[in-house]
Amino acid sequence: MKALKILTLVFFAAVLIYASLDLPYRGDPGNYMHAERSMTDTPVKGSYFIQEAYNDARTPNMVTVVLGDYRSIDTFGEQVVIYAVGLITLLIFKKRRRDKE
């Protein structure tokens, strides 16, 4: 049974390594995600972010502009999720303490 588990893990590792061989080379400017037009010939949003992030928000760090400005509602949702996590720990552990007393 243990040999079967190890064989399964080795098999999955082999599959993942084989799949990773087909990934595009990182940083290659010819990759699809760096092109101005996508495979289906629609404009790619990322090229607009790269070209106009500094002009829109005067911030050299592109990642901050995407996180705080272009996708700010997504970030607001993340913050609310973190606050909800804090409230949930409050509810769970306060209840346990009341049971103990």
Partner 1 sequence: MKRHFESPIVLLGARLLSPYIMVFGWYVIFHGHYSPGGGFQGGALLAASVLLIRVAGGAHLGNLQIKEWVNNPIAAIGVLIYFGTGLVAALAGGYFLDYGELPIPGVEAAWLRYIGILIIEVGIGLTVMAVLVMIYDNIVTGEDND
Which residues of this protein are in contact with partner 1, per CB under 8 A? 55-61, 63-65, 67-69, 72-73, 75-76, 79-80, 82-83, 85-87, 89-90, 92-94, 97, 100
CB closer to partner 1 out of 36 and 52: 52
Whole-number minimum distance, CB 23 to partner 1, in Å?
24
DSSP per position, 19-47: HHTTSPPTT-TTSGGGSSB-TTS-B-HHH
Shortest Å, Cβ 63 to partner 1 = 7
User: What are the distances in angstroms from CA 58 to CA 27, 28, 53?
Assistant: 25, 27, 7
Between 35 and 62, CB nearer to partner 1: 62
71 and 53 Cβ atoms separated by less than 8 Å: no
Indicate the residue among 40 and 79 with the shorter CB distance to partner 1.
79
Query: In the chain, what's the furthest Cα-to-Cα distance?
Result: 66
